[in-house]
Structure 1
């Protein structure tokens, strides 16, 4: 029996009823990839229809609306489409390559909270979906290994990156056995075997700017990452402000081709691996924030706000709630055009609008909300974005908890109908 999207059983699957998948393991990646579009937003409803519901259905609908605002989709932006075009082209080209040559990699850079990880994971998952539909994932597991095909591997760079810890992070994705007796050459051999046996064609290393080039261990780890390029996988490195991180210090940036070419190694690598004879090449692509300087940039920002507006489920949402009047300029000033900060502000604003009964986002309501990121971002990778200074012109509100199940007495919606 199929569950109704508005039933308590269906909603429980998304509100405390299951653990979100972790993409750092093969099973977690597959679970996320196959379920990433399963969430259905709350149905649209105005205040009149809401009043006609029973108290229990109101509470369930309010909880569904809150879940909708907490799970806003990743919307396509002009900057994300640029990244998607470059990354998809590189993945396809390398996927079809049969020659035993080093595969060119891609570096995705940008500021904090600009959606780099979600954009890259979505592109990689979509690429895998399409190739599965074409029946092109034909890698066969080797004898003695698990029959698990993993064309995409997603790994977070360890906080204190060393060659051994990086190898272990990659092996942990596959659930490969790791013993305390394994030295570095053994770990590198195991990584190469896992990539081969599981048919991995793309290796995503997130938070790559945790590496600090003034540390010997980090330089050795970068050498290992370069050596992985000779294992017939496409390396996708994701990090904050990669050009100024020192990762490219030993390289040469070819501006016309938007590529970084690393000079050929002149000595043996740190793990007994000889560097390839070809230069290490990466496409360097920036996922930028929204700008607000030209008519085209303003139009792109307003279009994005229109997409966000369509995802909201406030009962008294006015026409052009986010795109009319001075609201676009106000939201850009509060978030500096960073999609992650915009999401946080809108999410908290919707919670305040529901709790207060106003059920609409306005500048005066948002004025009382500070953007607080807390520990959401890793400070070691400089991921935390700079939040624009906010000097509210109206009285400051205190952030409210979710009051969906509170008995508030007569609703302000009823009173104002």
Structure 2
């Protein structure tokens, strides 16, 4: 966190040019590796530049002004995660589940969490932030040492594992993705039982408490391999590991039996048990082991909803670095209604609009955000007012087995009366 700039040197807290260049050139490792996850956990929310007025910017040396402009471009497109009522609901559930599961002593299977929502709603960001916060607390609790480690070993302590579900998921490819998180050595020709054993050993040896499987909606229950992946995930839940699954419209994938959307609670409600089976897979087993939570978008109807949206805009406004920015730039006048109309309250689209707007404001020299400038930013859809309120859930997932068509039996025409002309032709 940067402090306010001093009067003598307004850019005293600005990173050096070499550091700024390093931020641009080094990129970032992906979270689906141990190194990438640790980089995310230790660097999240740190890109906050010192505030600077127009007069302070003009009084700075030209070289440092260039450095500051480049650095604020980086920070303006990496705005820190803001707390929202929707994000808080998901975070509380994850925190409650993790705290409860880590205290259990003899439960053979730990309950998991499914986080569903539509695109750009912030599912992955919310889940990763909650998991990273849990890891921070877990490491501090155990003095950054692996509990129960064998003396003389050097196993990595990885309380959280983040893995993206393979595009074409099979039990083998899922195991390989988990092993690749640790860069574990294994034979590519290993059988599935061998891979499952290696995954089990890796999770235990590295002290894994949370396994995040992102993009779980890639699974479709009409595919046999995807059903086997679901069985594998249920097996992992018996390894003292809490599973957190995220995906788009999870109820429509068939992972859970048909759910109903309750507008009042903005949550999925499971109907009473039925004796339904999907291709021999008892889906209620998954339902009973996971709690499904829906990550919603902002609404702008009640006073409470409007206040929540305004608070979110204020949080963004504090971290935007534009030389002509003023207090209330995003919250005064008709700007909140404009932003709601443009984005439909979708957090990801709102962030993209603000980020692109800051780039345009700097390039044009306006150094502020207003409706005229944001009108020049093209989103995927300008009118988001018709965003889905009730995600459609199919009654049954499609099946790959086609019901055999009954071949229509041809009619016997031997005794058909073809008329006088036909009779003459036959006798002639």
The answer, yes or no, to whether TM exceeds 0.5 is: yes
After superposition, give the CA deviation of every residue in 1:42-61 in whole Å (9 maximum; x if it has no partner).
Answer: 22222222222222122111
The answer to whether the Cα contact below 8 Å between 1:203 and 1:235 also exists between their aligned partners in 2 is: yes
Give the match for residue 110 of structure 1.
Answer: 117
Give the match for residue 126 of structure 1.
Answer: 133
The answer to whether the Cα contact below 8 Å between 2:115 and 2:247 also exists between their aligned partners in 1 is: yes
Distance in 1 between the 2:271 and 2:113 partners? 10
After superposition, give the CA deviation of every residue in 1:362-401 in whole Å (9 maximum; x if it has no partner).
Answer: 10111111025xxxxxxxxxxxxxx3438xxxxxxxxxxx
Q: Structure 1 residue aligned with 2:348, among 315, 340, 343?
A: 340
Aligned-residue offset at 1:185: 1.0
Distance in 2 between the 1:167 and 1:334 partners? 42
The answer to whether the Cα contact below 8 Å between 2:45 and 2:81 also exists between their aligned partners in 1 is: no
CA separation of 1:252/1:182 partners in 2, compared to 1, >3 Å: closer, same or farther?
A: farther
Distance in 2 between the 1:369 and 1:49 partners? 29
Answer yes or no: is 1:47 the counterpart of 2:45. Answer: no
Give the match for residue 321 of structure 1.
Answer: 329
Answer yes or no: is 1:312 the counterpart of 2:337. Answer: no
Q: Structure 2 residue aligned with 1:389, among 376, 380, 383?
A: 383
Highest Rg: 1 or 2? 2
Answer yes or no: is 1:172 the counterpart of 2:180. Answer: yes
Give the match for residue 402 of structure 1.
Answer: none
CA separation of 1:339/1:131 partners in 2, compared to 1, >3 Å: closer, same or farther?
A: same
Give the match for residue 64 of structure 2.
Answer: 57
Distance in 2 between the 1:257 and 1:10 partners? 47
Distance in 2 between the 1:251 and 1:100 partners? 27
Distance in 1 between the 2:344 and 2:352 partners? 13
Distance in 2 between the 1:225 and 1:251 partners? 21
Give the match for residue 90 of structure 1.
Answer: 97
Give the match for residue 8 of structure 1.
Answer: 17
Q: Helix, strand or coil for the counterpart of 1:14?
A: helix
Describe how 1:351-366 pairs up with structure 2 within 5 A: 351-366=359-374
TM-score, normalised relative to structure 1: 0.80
Give the match for residue 147 of structure 2.
Answer: 139
Aligned-residue offset at 1:158: 0.3
Give the match for residue 159 of structure 1.
Answer: 167
Describe how 1:391-410 pairs up with structure 2 within 5 A: none
The answer to whether the Cα contact below 8 Å between 2:256 and 2:287 also exists between their aligned partners in 1 is: no
CA separation of 1:232/1:367 partners in 2, compared to 1, >3 Å: closer, same or farther?
A: same
Answer yes or no: is 1:290 the counterpart of 2:295. Answer: no
Aligned-residue offset at 1:11: 2.2
Aligned-residue offset at 1:143: 8.1
Distance in 2 between the 1:203 and 1:261 partners? 29
Q: Structure 2 residue aligned with 1:186, among 189, 194, 201?
A: 194
The answer to whether the Cα contact below 8 Å between 2:76 and 2:358 also exists between their aligned partners in 1 is: yes
TM-score, normalised relative to structure 2: 0.78
Give the match for residue 383 of structure 1.
Answer: none
Number of paired residues? 368
Structure 1: which 5+ runs fail to align? Answer: 373-386, 391-417
After superposition, give the CA deviation of every residue in 1:20-79 in whole Å (9 maximum; x if it has no partner).
Answer: 13211112212221222433x222222222222222122111111111101100111111
The answer to whether the Cα contact below 8 Å between 1:26 and 1:173 also exists between their aligned partners in 2 is: yes
Give the match for residue 74 of structure 2.
Answer: 67
Distance in 2 between the 1:242 and 1:230 partners? 22
Q: Structure 1 residue aligned with 2:230, among 222, 236, 241?
A: 222
Give the match for residue 396 of structure 1.
Answer: none
Structure 2: which 5+ runs fail to align? Answer: 1-11, 385-428
Distance in 2 between the 1:177 and 1:249 partners? 38
Aligned-residue offset at 1:87: 0.6
Distance in 1 between the 2:295 and 2:241 partners? 23
Structure 1 residue runs of 4 or more that deviate by more than 3 Å after TM superposition: 140-146, 250-266, 277-280, 387-390
Distance in 2 between the 1:253 and 1:319 partners? 39
CA separation of 1:191/1:265 partners in 2, compared to 1, >3 Å: closer, same or farther?
A: farther
CA separation of 1:49/1:196 partners in 2, compared to 1, >3 Å: closer, same or farther?
A: same
Answer yes or no: is 1:243 the counterpart of 2:266. Answer: no
